Structure 1
């Protein structure tokens, strides 16, 4: 079963979940707000995508972040800020079974899941 990390009211997450359902791929949503984050999730995600890619600068959470934090954000502080405010994490994220996806792009999903079907 594929675990999709994100938040349930995010339109991009909804698109990804719909795509997985339409393609018969068993999955479940791990909602950051409800389920929290495993201690090593952000470390694994950062190693795969880089900390800059993890920060959702289009989110309301980013717009509401204080200017000093925005200007001084760097690798050493980013994971702490993301852990404290998980809605800042770009979504959805799939990171398992050799698949590493962040955000939703239909072509990327088709390529990644073609070996599963």
Structure 2
């Protein structure tokens, strides 16, 4: 089963959800606006991808932080804490499939990883 985490109105999340629907892959969607990410989940993900990859430094939320706040995000602990405070800063979507974690949307990666038999 595919688990997908993100924010419904995020364009990248929409692309991923559309792709899953188009390829008839069933999934469970977890909306950070309704189900904020928990520390345990962020820690679990960071064992498979680095905590740095989880922090979306290209997004609006990151840019709204002060320079001091940005500079204080320098290790696992501070990275997880900022993500707990600002779930919208988590790179999206996050897809869990089997033992894999996929970040963002990439058609080729999805095709090679998620193409399941119907």
* Deviation (angstroms), 1:89: 0.4
Aligned to 2:95: 94
TM-score computed with the length of structure 1 as normaliser: 0.92
TM-score computed with the length of structure 2 as normaliser: 0.91
**What residue ranges of structure 2 are gaps of 5+ in the alignment?**
none
**What residue ranges of structure 1 are gaps of 5+ in the alignment?**
none
* Deviation (angstroms), 1:95: 2.1
Moved over 6 A (4+): none
Aligned to 1:58: 58
Contact 2:3 / 2:27 at 8 angstroms: preserved in 1? yes
Aligned residues: 116
* Deviation (angstroms), 1:45: 1.2
- 1:21 equivalent in alignment to 2:26: no
RMSD: 1.2
